[in-house]
Amino acid sequence: MQRSSFGVQLSDPPTPLEERSKTSIVSLPPPSPSKLSCSSDDPPRQHILWAVPPANSSERHHQSHPSTPDLSKSSRQSSCSNTSDSAKEEFWGERPPAEVVFDNMERYFDKQDLDKEVEVAVDATNSLSRRSTKSIRLVAREASRKYKKTGETMVRRKSTKLWGQRLVEVKSKSAHVITRLPSVSEHMNLSHANTSGTPIQWIRGKLIGKGSFGKVYLAFNVGSSEVIAVKQVEVPKTVSDMLNEHQHDVVEALYQEIMMLRDLDHENIVQYLGYGRDDTEGVINIFLEYVSGGSLSSRLSVHGPFDESLTRYITKQICSGLAYLHSRNILHRDIKAANILIEQDGICKISDFGLSKKNDYDEVYDENSRMSLRGSIYWMAPEVVKNEPYSAKVDIWSLGCTVLEMLTGQRPWLALSQIAAIYNLGRLNSPNIPDHISDCAKDFLKQCFIIDPIQRPTATNLLEHEYLNTDPSFQFNEYLEKGKI
């Protein structure tokens, strides 16, 4: 049932079945003790993230996810007791770290022929080097040895950029598929494109996420021996599809997202690596940095609220990422715990830029900018709900809502339906701030929830707030060891 309030079109909160078809992160289970490879009949276990939890819920995040598999270390001990060394690898969160993927390629790339020979450079540092052939399995094995040799002293390595490269998906049961670069009419400047050089080969693995705009798969860049992610979005295939206004808008929005984010480079933002169009499958492939671990939402669903030290540590990283985005005139417009990924080393990354917007002609904090209503109702700022001009200050309001999620384990406006939340926002109310948190945390939230966006601080301002003065002795690993995240 749909309604409208303050000019906003609403629908009732989805049922679990309806939500399952919209937004989910697929949890990749650790290697099975009985087998290291999966048949095509083995469905990946799914972890559902509520985009809009039930309005009458008074429960914590984790009680809204009844089908969530417990992938904590303790729950995996017994299931891994009789496995080989590689199968004993355990991981934290829903997505395995790269070294676990390397050691269990049969599990995560179960539909690929890992013994297929591919062309690789003898010396990747020399562009004029000789090339030879190796099996995909051997390439992954060598990468695994490199990870183990460097151990914990390994410096975080940035994924190889693929912009302007010729990409080839290696498939087991068909010919190689060239993921061609889009034509000029598809908004790609090809003046620097490597359309004649040696192509970069990659393979697609397990599904690790899906949403209304496409599916995200695990992938392996054979040329650079890197685990990456690939987001696949279907594009119009027929003339009638191309004339469909909605499909046209989706593709245009996708190209806008790609070109807006291609040059971003920040530790707290998921890196876009490149893209191409696969006419055989009728999809656009967007190559992304692979982030192991899970989302803040999934961690809250398992462990409940975070304490203030952990929340400060995470909030500072989100704020740093937002400050960078805003410095590039980019609004995210959908900041929430479900869109913040966290790795096992504690690094947080802002993800899901499908609703982002670049302010080309105005200052990013210009309150007179005219933009459409975008985002998730419960995390929206009042000026968005009231259909007023808004700026990047909407991300600051959403940041406050995300901090509330971490401190309480609950989404903002928990007791309210969408229409009731919009009514409160329209009357210039803000979410309740809990009494049990520190005065410093309360002040930080009050700053985020200043009704007048002109008076609301910028992300750079908030980085100077006392709440983000993290304790130098803070150790994220201690929270992992104690099972607090």
- What are the angstrom distances between the C-alpha of 202 and each of 109, 239, 380? 11, 30, 39
Query: Distance of CA 192 to CAs 19, 164, 165, 166, Å?
Result: 42, 6, 9, 12
Tens of pLDDT, residue by residue over 231-252, are 998 887 777 776 778 777 777 7
Nearest to 207 by CA among 279, 99, 110, 298: 110
3-state class percentages of the chain: helix first, strand second, coil last, to nearest 5: 30, 20, 50
Annotated active-site residue 334? The verdict is: yes
- Torsion angles phi and psi, residue 192, rounded to 5: -115, 10
Confidence of residue 470 (pLDDT cuts 50, 70, 90): confident
Tokens standing for residue 181: 């670069």
Enumerate residues 6+ apart whose C-beta is below 8 A from 446: 433
- DSSP of 178-225, one letter per residue? EEBPPPGGGT---TT--SSSPPEEEEEEEEEEEETTEEEEEEEETTTT
- pLDDT, position 442: 98
290, 311, 343 — which closes off a domain?
A: 290
**Length of the chain counted residue by residue:** 485
Quick one: what percent of the chain has pLDDT higher than 70?
67
| Domain presence at residue 167 | yes
**284: DSSP letter:** E
The verdict on residue 26 lying in a domain is: no
Closest CA relative to residue 198, chosen from 254, 133, 242: 133
Strands (E), 313-386: 330-331, 340-342, 348-350, 357-358
Mean pLDDT of 340-367: 75
Same domain, 199 and 248: yes
Judge whether 321 lies within some domain: yes
pLDDT digits (tens, 9 = 90+) for 4-62: 444 444 444 444 334 433 444 555 655 544 433 333 333 333 332 333 333 343 344 54
Same-domain check for residues 432 and 312: yes
Single out the residue of 381, 403, 379 nearest to residue 391, CA to CA: 381
- Most confidently modeled range among 91-100, 170-179, 192-201, 309-318: 309-318
Closest-CA residue to 275 (of 263, 287, 262, 259): 287
Name which residue leads in pLDDT, 23 or 463.
Answer: 463
Contact between residue 330 and residue 365 where contact means Cβ atoms under 8 Å apart? no
Classify residue 142: in a domain, yes or no. Answer: yes
Question: C-alpha angle with apex 260: 397 to 335, nearest 5 degrees?
Answer: 20
Per-residue pLDDT of 83-118, as tens digits, reads 344 444 578 888 999 989 999 999 999 999 999 988
- List the CATH number of the domain containing 357: 1.10.510.10
Same domain (yes/no): 286, 298? no
Q: Is 387 annotated as a binding residue?
A: no
Q: Which tokens is 253 given?
A: 């929005």
Q: Who has greater pLDDT, 325 or 262?
A: 325
Q: Helices 439-448 and 393-408 sit at what angle, rounded to 10 degrees?
A: 150
- Of 169 and 173, the structure prediction assigns the larger pLDDT to 169
231 labelled binding-site residue: yes
Predicted pLDDT of residue 34: 40
d(CA 423, CA 388): 15
Residues 166, 284 within the same domain? yes
* 461, amino acid identity: N
Give 154-174 as a 3 state SS string: CCCCCCCCCCCCCEEECCCCC
> Is 337 found in the same domain as 453?
yes
Q: Which pLDDT belongs to residue 252?
A: 79
**Secondary structure of residue 10 in the 3-state scheme:** strand
Give 188's contacts (C-beta < 8 A, 6+ positions apart). 181, 182
- What are 143's two structure tokens? 């990468």
Same structural domain for residues 271 and 349? no
Radius of gyration of the chain (CA): 23
- What is the identity of the amino acid at 100? V
Q: Residue 282 is which amino acid? A: G
Kindly state whether residues 441 and 315 are assigned to the same domain: yes
Question: Per-residue pLDDT for 334 more than 50?
Answer: yes
Last residue of a domain, one of 244, 266, 290: 290
How distant, in Å, are the alpha carbons of 66, 318, 343 from that of 485?
Answer: 18, 17, 11
Q: Which residues of 274-306 are buried (b: 16+ CB within 10 A; e: fewer)?
A: bbbbbeebebbbbbbbbbbbbbbbbbbbbbebb
Q: Report the pLDDT value the prediction gives residue 398, as an integer from 0 to 100.
A: 97
Positions of E strands within 345-433: 348-350, 357-358
CA distance 296 to 348: 9
Q: Which token pair is 435?
A: 């009494």
CA distance 418 to 427: 14
5 vs 420, which has greater pLDDT? Answer: 420
Q: Is 352 annotated as a binding residue?
A: yes
**Same-domain check for residues 315 and 415:** yes
302 and 251, same structural domain?
Answer: no
Expressed as residue numbers, the domain containing 444 is 294-481
Task: Give a yes or no: residue 202 inside a domain.
Answer: yes
Q: Is residue 69 part of a domain?
A: no
Query: What's 179's domain CATH number?
Result: 3.30.200.20
Strand segments (E) across 303-437: 330-331, 340-342, 348-350, 357-358
Domain end among 241, 267, 290? 290
Q: Is residue 100 part of a domain?
A: no
Tell whether 324 and 453 lie within a shared domain. Answer: yes
Any domain includes 437: yes
Query: Which H or E run includes 453?
Result: none
**pLDDT at residue 407 greater than cutoff 60:** yes
Q: 339 with 219, same domain?
A: no
CB 25 within 8 A of CB 208: yes
Residues 286 and 376 in one domain: no
Give the total number of structural domains in the chain: 2
> Of 334, 395, 435, 443, which one is the catalytic site residue?
334
Cα distances (angstroms) measured from residue 440 to each of 316, 430, 436, 443, 471: 14, 18, 12, 5, 14
- Tens of pLDDT, residue by residue over 184-199, are 334 443 333 445 556 7
